[in-house]
Amino acid sequence: MTNQNNQPQKKEIKIADNIPGAEYSNAMQVNHNKDEFQLVFLNIFGGSGRVAGKIVTSPGHYKRMIMAMQDNLNKYEDNFGEIKEASAPEKEIGFK
């Protein structure tokens, strides 16, 4: 959106009151269909775990998120050195 002078308008984003803080995730599952990507963030501990969050988004926004994450990863490694990839879970993760 632009204003009368053809300048971009600043958008304000409100954080919902029911989101008090961050959730920790140490695993993620990704699924997709033609119209959307589903990202399920998990917190695995011991022999169990829980869903920490779920995001459903369009393919175009998913691609923008990947590019933003890659950009941030590159900046992080430029500042702090290469990150070693975490090992995969030892067994299949399922849902109840």
Question: Strand pairing partners for 54?
Answer: 40
pLDDT band (50, 70, 90) for residue 46: confident
Q: What is the pLDDT of residues 8-43, one digit of tens each?
A: 788 887 777 666 778 899 999 999 999 999 999 999
The alpha carbon torsion through 81, 82, 88, 94 (nearest 10 deg) reads 60
Q: Buried b / exposed e across 37-60, counting CB within 10 Å, b at 16+?
A: bebbbbeeeeeebeebeeeeeeee
The whole model's pTM is what?
Answer: 0.71
Q: Which two tokens stand for residue 8?
A: 């971009």
Give the span between the Cα atoms of 87 and 90, in whole angstroms: 8
